[in-house]
């Protein structure tokens, strides 16, 4: 049995990039830190929530790079001389990325009670009808 991929299916022309994006998203989702939720807020709006307890706003960065939402967290060494008998709250760097579909834009972000909320919205698609004339041979 042969494997049919998006790029080789005869009815799906020009979807090679979509196949690469799916493969890239599958590779980047291996690490479970920090935990996150994805909610559908409305028909065209989404919210990604990451648990970022212990990170200050200046420790976090959010960028969109080549249709990919990238969230990075980096805590500097506090160097305050504290000695931990048990350290259960993670204080490590992280990078979490999400592939965005065409037309999805980041509307804003905020932190609240140790959670980072990132709001996304998908633009209403334009209906495009194109009439093709048939030339006589």
Residue 116: Cβ within 10 Å count = 22
Show the tokens assigned to 6.
Answer: 């998006």
Which of 100, 96, 134, 135 lies closest to 120, judged by CA?
100
**CA–CA separation, 30 vs 33, rounded Å?**
9
Task: Look at residue 127 and tell me if it is in a domain.
Answer: no
Token pair of 123 as six digits? 């633009």
Residues 7 and 57 in one domain: no
5 with 58, same domain: the answer is no
Answer yes or no: is 130 within a domain: no
Instruction: Compute φ and ψ for 110, nearest 5 degrees.
Output: -155, 155
pLDDT digits (tens, 9 = 90+) for 11-53: 777 777 777 767 766 666 566 889 999 999 999 999 999 999 8
56 and 114 assigned to the same domain? yes
Residue-range definition of the domain harbouring residue 68 = 32-122
Write out pLDDT tens, residues 103-133. 999 999 999 999 999 999 998 878 889 999 9
Q: Is the pLDDT of residue 99 over 60?
A: yes
């Amino acid at each position: 049995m042969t494997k049919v991929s998006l790029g080789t299916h005869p009815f799906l022309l020009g979807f090679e990039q979509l196949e690469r994006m799916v493969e890239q998203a599958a590779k980047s989702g291996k690490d479970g830190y920090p935990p996150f939720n994805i909610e559908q807020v409305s028909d065209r709006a989404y919210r990604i929530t990451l648990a970022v307890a212990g990170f200050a706003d200046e420790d976090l960065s959010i960028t969109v790079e080549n249709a990919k939402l990238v969230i990075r967290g980096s805590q500097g060494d506090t160097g305050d001389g504290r000695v931990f008998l048990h350290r259960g709250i993670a204080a490590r760097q992280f990078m979490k990325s999400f592939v965005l579909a065409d037309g999805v834009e980041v509307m804003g972000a905020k932190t609240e009670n140790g959670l980072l909320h990132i709001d996304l919205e998908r633009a209403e698609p334009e209906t495009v009808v194109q009439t093709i004339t048939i030339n006589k041979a």
